[in-house]
A and B are shown apart, each in its own frame.
Chain A
Amino acid sequence: DSGVTQTPKHLITATGQRVTLRCSPRSGDLSVYWYQQSLDQGLQFLIQYYNGEERAKGNILERFSAQQFPDLHSELNLSSLELGDSALYFCASSAFGTAHIYGYTFGSGTRLTVV
């Protein structure tokens, strides 16, 4: 157990639907990162939060949004889902200013399948 908890582990939904993926960072970590892993695009950075504030955005679609709550858990919301959104979505966390030293701690991911 890495200490980063992602729920659900698997999710199957239909095109056009909306889903919410949840992440609880490792205890003490204030930074949360979301990544999408797909066969064709590989691992792509989506968005980063630090202590409730958005810090950086990557290749995140406008249909996707995220937030980090006061208790530091984060949610990634995916709407108007398309078949191409099927992927493994990872959450990772790090302590402030240490990502370059220790890397991230990753969760085990949420496997999203859009049918």
Chain B
Amino acid sequence: AQTVTQSQPEMSVQEAETVTLSCTYDTSESNYYLFWYKQPPSRQMILVIRQEAYKQQNATENRFSVNFQKAAKSFSLKISDSQLGDTAMYFCAFMRRGSQGNLIFGKGTKLSVKP
């Protein structure tokens, strides 16, 4: 069975600074997808960024980028130029290819951006 571990329950960062959230996963699969979701206080789950395991190039979406290390089974999220609106819970998630699209989530990291 696949597991996703987020070892940082809480983090904080100053506005405009850069922060990195960690995620590791355990799987014997070779084809899979990884996601970061954001859950602000409004509780809406919002997709931030995704990565396909067979692509070596790290995904980037504006201020958000990932560091995907397949051999180490690590998938960290870097947020650059942090903004107050980035304050939220961040969840790392794993999807096995052919799994009907079911996501396995980590426990989450609560990020606070301070002015």
A18 in the interface, Cβ–Cβ < 8 Å?
Answer: no
| Interface band, chain B | 20 to 34
A102 to B61, CA, bound (A): 13
Known contacts A90-B45, A108-B43, A109-B43; is-contact A43 B91 (Cβ 8 Å): yes
CB 8 Å contact bits of B87-115 with A (1 = contact, 0 = none): 00001000101011111111110000000
CB 8 Å contact bits of A73-109 with B (1 = contact, 0 = none): 0000000000000001010101000011111101011
Minimum Cβ distance to chain A for residue B30 (Å): 14
A48 with B47: CB separation less than 8 A = no
- Interface hits, A11-57 → B, CB 8 Å: 31, 33, 35, 42-45, 48, 50, 55-56
A2 with B50: CB separation less than 8 A = no
Q: Which of A55, A104, A108 contacts B103 (CB 8 A)?
A: A104
Q: Which of B42, B45, B46, B102 contacts A58 (CB 8 A)?
A: B102
Binding site for A on B (CB under 8 A): 33, 35, 37, 42-47, 50, 52, 91, 95, 97, 99-108
Main secondary structure of the interface of B (DSSP, over half): loop
Which residues of B sit under 8 angstroms from A33, Cβ to Cβ?
101-103
Which residues of A sit under 8 angstroms from B104, Cβ to Cβ?
45
Nearest CB in chain A to that of B35: its residue = A103
A48 to B108, CA, bound (A): 22
